[in-house]
Structure 1
Amino acid sequence: MKDLCKAYVGNNIKMVHNKIDTLFTKETNKLFSGLTNTQYLVLIYLGEENDKCALQKEIETKFELSHPTTVGIIKRLSVQDLVVTRPYEKNKRQKEVMITSKGMSLLTSIKNGPRSILNKVDNDALAGFSEEEKNQLNNYLYRINDNLNEF
């Protein structure tokens, strides 16, 4: 009989996710505390990729998050004064989320850029993998994600 904890892909992915989350938290706590991996990714998205602002719905879609999860993330970032929200001008039912100067300062204060933490965690997790293996693993994970989008 297969080892219950190692026999199922979903469980293996969850165990890896938990370890990566722990490593990420350890790395970020060296610089600042109280920020989860997803909150950090949202800050980078707002600060680097999306002209300092995005609709809440865009964040939900980009990170494949539920509405309540996104609301919680934005609320916790707001409490830390890293983002602010306002009703979207073109549709008041939607919220616009903007990174604050404090949020931008946090991102710019990170030596080697905000993505350096993500790169370090990836490098630690994928130590000993060739570039081809890293790409292949990433492609497999995308395929698994696509397969599960059908449900």
Structure 2
Amino acid sequence: MKTDQFNFGGFVKQLNNIMEMRFNHSLKQWDLTSSQFSVIMFLLHHQGQAINQKMIEEAFRLKGPTVTGIVKRLVEKDFIQRRPDPLDRRINYLELTKKGLELESLVCTEITRLETETLRGISPEHLDLLESLLHQILENITNQ
């Protein structure tokens, strides 16, 4: 395949759009979007750490107002709670509620199902190669 005929960016965008649409469809049963679930997963993976909104902005490369909206909706849905810093009231730490913690096993099962379906028919060797290539591409574009 010639690189001048292969629209890499367009292909990746199309894959991302389809995968996000399918994931959002699956998350509807919990009244979540993929962006909201990503924040929940971030908090799950950083339990025991003091996570604030600025850290989420940096981790996902999102602007403040975008993260504010996501956090606001997750608080309204009782998936997370804000805990003010006792020394600096401008800082709020984000923590999962019981309802948020319960999502992990439910949604992770759904993620596994979707990934298995998406990667069906691809050999383990090709999956290893794909992972290696994607890591190289990510490294190429983040080290510029």
The corresponding residue for 2:74 is 77
TM-score (norm 1): 0.74
The corresponding residue for 2:138 is 145
The corresponding residue for 1:25 is 24
Q: Whole-Å Cα distance in 1 between the matches of residues 128 and 92 of structure 2? A: 36
- The alignment of Structure 1 onto Structure 2 pairs a total of residues equal to 141
Considering Cα pairs closer than 8 Å and 6+ residues apart, tell me whether 1 or 2 has the greater RCO: 1
1:130 Cα deviation from its structure 2 partner: 1.6
Computed over aligned residues only, the root mean square deviation of the Cα atoms, in angstroms, reads 2.7
1:89 Cα deviation from its structure 2 partner: 4.2
- 5 Å matches for 1:2-151? 7-29=6-28, 31-33=29-31, 35-47=32-44, 49-51=45-47, 54-89=51-86, 92-107=89-104, 110=106, 114-150=107-143
Q: Whole-Å Cα distance in 1 between the matches of residues 116 and 6 of structure 2? A: 25
Does the 8 Å CA contact 1:55/1:88 hold for their aligned counterparts?
no
Q: Which amino acid aligns with 1:149?
A: T
Q: Whole-Å Cα distance in 1 between the matches of residues 87 and 21 of structure 2? A: 40
Q: Percent identity?
A: 28
1:13 Cα deviation from its structure 2 partner: 0.6
Q: Which amino acid aligns with 2:23?
A: F
Runs of 4+ in 1 over 6 A off after TM superposition: none
Which segments of 5 or more consecutive residues in structure 1 lack a partner in the other structure? none
Shift in CA distance, 87/44, structure 1 to aligned 2, threshold 3 Å: same
Higher strand share: 1
Residue 65 of structure 1 aligns to a residue in which SS?
coil
Q: Whole-Å Cα distance in 1 between the matches of residues 35 and 132 of structure 2? A: 21
TM-score (norm 2): 0.77
Higher helix share: 2
Q: Whole-Å Cα distance in 2 between the matches of residues 99 and 142 of structure 1? A: 30
